[in-house]
Amino acid sequence: MSGHSNPQSPEEDARIAQQALAQGDLVHAVHHIGCALSVRPLHPEWLGFLDHVLRRVPDPLSLAEVDEEGETSFVTAATRAYAFSVKGQWVDALHMVAQVVGSRPDVAYLGWAERWLTYPNVLASIPFDDLMGAFAIRLVRDLPRLESPTDPVGENLRAAERIFAHVRSVHPGRGFSWYASSSIARKLGKFPEAVDLSRQGAVVEPSFMTAIGHANALRESGRIEEAIAAMHEARRHDPDDVTTWLDVGDMRMEQERWAEAAQAYAEVVTKEPNHPFGAAYLHYTRFKATGNPAEREALLAFRDRRADEPRVIGLAREVQPLEPFVTFMPFPGDATAKAIADLIGHIKEKGNEMAGGKMNMNVTHPESPSVLLTCRLATAALDPPMTVEVKYEKIQSPDPRVPKGQVDFVAWVYDAQNVARANVPPPDPKLAGAIADIATRAYDLEAFTAHARGLAGQLQPGWIPHLVGAMVHPPPPPDATWEPFTWVQKVQFAAALTIAQIGSGWDGSPRRGALTSLALGPVDWICNAAIFAIAQVAKTDPAARRELDQLFPYLERSIPKGAYTAYEYPLACAWLLLPGLDPQTRARVESRKQACAEGRGSDQEEEGGFDLEAEKQKAQAAQQQVAAGHGGDPDPVVFPGSPVARLSDYVWILKQMQRGDMGGALGRYGLDMMAYAGVATQWGQRVAADPVLNAKFTQMMSQG
């Protein structure tokens, strides 16, 4: 339900309504008198005018039509509620007015419902369940508390108080009428009265609802021990309920009776192991009760698992300050990430009902390939899978799809349709499991570095391509309750930090080649992981620090204006961890970090770029040329003398890898993982740069 903007005074609206009526324009008259009533809903003359106009037509609803395509304003919705009352459709009228009051509790429309329910036989004629379901439940749920004596919400709350008193007089034996009265009394701050009303409800109709109502009234009256006893009583009606245990835990937390609070939260987790925040409260209260660091670690690990739950984040903040990329992993800033996160949430609710669906998104610029990677990982259980297609309006400059400097390999390449695909094969399953083991732990940069050091000590440089593979082919989380965006980033950081500690020395080392190639490669979250991994090495390695002092300013200069760049915020955060920054650099980077945190990064500055449509036209022309047989050799030799010389050689390797035959794919050409990384980079860059070759590649990949 949308708001309503009206430049006229209510008196002016009433005058316009009179004029419209005189001219026979009833729709216009109803609209303007509705606008006047939105300011003073109980004005007797204006209400009489609305009633008079609505009764002049056979169907009053025709004068207050809803907008089927756009949002209906609350003024139209309220007028429509009144039209239902004119027709004697009381349930519809009450349902609609409750919706309006829920949207605009500061406008005293509930006075209309109060008047309707006092008409002879109206309340008695409405089935109690219809009255409660369509009307009362909404008021109990949606009306806010009175914040001050002059709070405009007070008019609706007091009207609700009188309405439910009337309902109690007609339905004295129905517990919900007492429960609703008690709830409204609590919102009005009338706590002793709320306790009395709720107690009577529990007597006339003992149930879980009335018992909970009494417990809540006692709690808000400050009678905590009685409230806890009432919570236990409520469970006699529903032994499997967890909300009462949550409430008991909350009350004991407020009293700082940590051990008793932990006992209550333990009941929640026992009854509902996948509760979205129960385990967080359990670990927090156990930590407060015992000081056991394992409970603190468990809370922080659960924070990463349920990074989408604000209550979990709030608890974790109390035991560890939130420093982005250092003590917690922020949600990605890509515009597509939020949309994908919402999609994943719907899938969790709907399950396989969404299988085979398709989501189309239009965004201004290319964003991180890891966003769609995360989507595929999180929706892998769907059969058939969902597809997500992202279209870009333009390409920023520098082009985020290509390396920013000299690299040994690229982990992502883009095809002619601007779809990114992994350019390295999946990792060895055992190594992927070891990275996943690190990722299941609570994220902390120093702790992750220590865990990665332990793994790196067991690996030779030949394992580095597998670690790169884990960054673009991440292992799945332990189960579907894990927040996928945090999980993928943690896997990527764990892999990069492990690469950073394989072997010794920096200049000319495999770890240096891999990490700088990742940092300088196509823009993605894996750049973020590499940036932090290099920063960790640079803290103690002078050679790495010398390179970083050149690399980080270069990366900063490569951030385009007018478009979101995934590594901008992480770069600033990592840079500021380094000792010995000169004051000018520190001030500049601190300013960038603050701007990014406040949503004022380089994407808010004036942009540059090139025409994506022109690039698309080139690709389409190349595809047409190849399809017509005018593209030359359909299987050209691109790298003479190389083991993977022809296009068909490269395509064969990719198809074998897609089938899971990594050993056969590489063995046929005498390649190991390290050699393949160089081959894949050469081919990926050449295919991306040559529209005709790209068209041939796309055609060959689509063939059986």
> Is residue 623 within 8 Å of residue 416, measured between CB atoms?
yes
Whole-model pTM? 0.72
Q: Please determine, for residue 443, whether its predicted confidence score (pLDDT) is greater than 90.
A: yes
Name the pLDDT band for 452 (thresholds 50, 70, 90). very high
Q: Answer yes or no: are the C-beta atoms of 109 and 101 closer than 8 Å.
A: yes
> What integer pLDDT is reported at residue 241 of this predicted model?
94
pLDDT in tens, 430-441: 999 999 999 999
Mean pLDDT of 377-389: 80
Task: Report the pLDDT averaged over residues 219-245.
Answer: 95
- pLDDT tens, position by position, 475-493: 999 988 899 999 999 999 9
- The contacts of residue 338 (CB under 8 Å, 6+ apart) are none
Residue of 556, 563, 522, 491 lying closest to 369 (CA atoms): 522
Query: How confident is the model at residue 360, as a pLDDT?
Result: 82
Res. 527: pLDDT tops 80: yes
Whole-number pLDDT of residue 243: 95
**Are the beta carbons of 146 and 188 closer than 8 angstroms?**
yes
Residue 614 has pLDDT above 60, yes or no: no
pLDDT at residue number 66 = 80
Q: Output the pLDDT for position 499.
A: 98
Distance of CA 175 to the CA centre of its chain: 39
Q: What is the distance of C-alpha 510 from the center of its chain?
A: 37
Q: Residue 607's pLDDT is what? A: 52
> What would the DSSP string read from start to end of 348-389?
HHHGGGGTT-EEEEEESS---HHHHHHHHHHTTT-SSPPEEE
* Residue 62 clears pLDDT 90, i.e. is over it: yes
Q: Is the pLDDT of residue 595 over 50?
A: yes
Position 604 scores a pLDDT of 62
Of the pLDDT bands very low, low, confident and very high (cuts 50, 70, 90), residue 612 is very low
Choose between 454 and 389: higher pLDDT.
454
Lowest mean pLDDT among 202-206, 371-375, 672-676: 672-676
Number of C-alpha atoms within 13 angstroms, CB side, residue 122?
20
Check pLDDT > 50 for residue 582: yes
- State residue 696's pLDDT score: 84
Task: Count Cβ atoms below 10 Å from residue 44 Cβ, excluding itself.
Answer: 8
Average pLDDT over residues 294-302: 95
**pLDDT more than 90, % of the chain:** 68
List, for residues 532-573, the tens digit of each pLDDT value: 999 999 999 999 999 999 999 999 999 988 888 999 999 999
- Which DSSP symbol is given to 132? I
Token pair of 285, please? 């209260």
Which residues lie across from 328 on neighbouring strands? 324
pLDDT tens for 325-362 read 999 999 999 988 888 888 887 777 777 676 777 778 88
More confident residue, 613 or 516: 516
In 3-state terms, the chain is what percent helix, strand and coil (to 5)?
Answer: 60, 5, 35
| pLDDT at 5 > cutoff 60 | no
Least confident of 147-161, 465-479, 516-530, 627-641: 627-641
